[in-house]
Structure 1
Amino acid sequence: MKRLFVVLFCLFSVVIAFAQKSKKPAVLKKDSTAITVQHFNDAAIKKYAADPEFQYVEGQKAEPSWWDRFWYWFWQWLGDLLSSAGLSHPSIKYILVGLAAIGGLFLILKSAGLLKRTAKKVSLPYQESLENIHEIDFDSEIENAIALRNFRLAVRLQYLKCLKQLSDAGLINWQIDKTNTAYYYELTNPVQREAFGSITRRFEYVWYGDFPIDEHAFGNINVLFQQFKTKL
């Protein structure tokens, strides 16, 4: 084993020595290229210096407007106020981001119709939260509402009357705490469902959306109620 190692070592040494002998020394070649000295053209420099397009002058900063000064003062005041309350600048940032997120969520919910204004209180001969469609004399109450020019209430009574007619016909299972959407999906007849959806939208615009309604508008909506009754 030792002999094999010695032989390999000798062969490796011979190869290295041969490679070093065969390597030619590097020769540095002289560069014979002629050098041309370039001179600046003073006339051209003066020409470009006099050209306005080549004059790079930093513009003066415009004075802030009163609107800019107001907002600068506001943010400074808000920062000082919150800092005096023990809130650091990162805390102020998180508070403002949170308020912006709440505002954005409010706008989304409002645009989606999930935030509806509370209907104005009107003089009803019964409590709205406890009204039972099977205990109301609709013809008499609708006539009284129209006589008092309370067309908003008249629309509500007409809608409740339609619910009673659907319940009497066995088309819906009326319950005092059910939603209008639930009644809509209980209708299996496509024609009846479409007509019911139409009068439901009008009713909700007027009652929950506080949509202004006069005698002429009530007449148009009342026609839809009468047409709906013919589809039962």
Structure 2
Amino acid sequence: MSLLKQVILLIAVLVVTVCLQPINSTAHILSQTADTSAVEVRLPSEQQLDTYSQQNAFDYSQEAVANESFISKVLRWLFSWFGDIMQNPTAAIIFEIAAYLIFISLLILLIQQYFKGNLADMMTKNKVHNGLPATKEAGPLVFDELNALINKAIEQNRYRDAICHLYRRSLKQLAEAGHITWKKDKTNRDYLYELSTENMRSLFQDITRYYEYAEYGHFPFDQELFGTVHQRFKQLHKLISDQN
């Protein structure tokens, strides 16, 4: 597991631990022994009550809202009902646990999507249409056409375009050799997990990263760097040929 994924898992564990702290605190409060000490009740005199009743600050009377709409009545009833439920300690804990379970479930779902590569692909729109990545030239091409595009891009020093065409050719080679299955809306990460050998997965992961840099990251490739990248494509091509 990569360092980045280990850090994400550690953050997830810390978040879950922090979220569960209020639940533990509430349970601790409920488990405490009730206070049975005597309570001294002090009542104000009639004169004090009359004095206070004349002050606006102690006027607690509520006037009915005129022409209250049906929606307002429903909302007021819901808020009142929810408030009554939350006054019950057991119900409050149930609602609290439910809220945290929903949050944890969403967090786990996001982590799973990241590990599968779908989250990163959605963020970069790295979708594969008709079995080919969304490069500038749409539609599947035969090997001769792809080879011509690759050679032309290299001759014109358009190394980013050359990497995109090399990647499309690699996908076609893998599919025709039976290592992957083309399918509409599959991601490049989906193809990665279809590969059966570690060496092939490692090479495909490398060329996928270079392709994403070239197609979506607009990373500048010079002749020297392209030579290194091109060598990885050649290694994958040789590995595919050797296993057939």
If the TM-score is normalised by the length of the shorter chain, which range does it land in? 0.3 to 0.5
With normalisation by structure 1, the TM-score equals 0.44
Larger radius of gyration: 1
With normalisation by structure 2, the TM-score equals 0.42
The structure with the largest helix share of the pair is 2
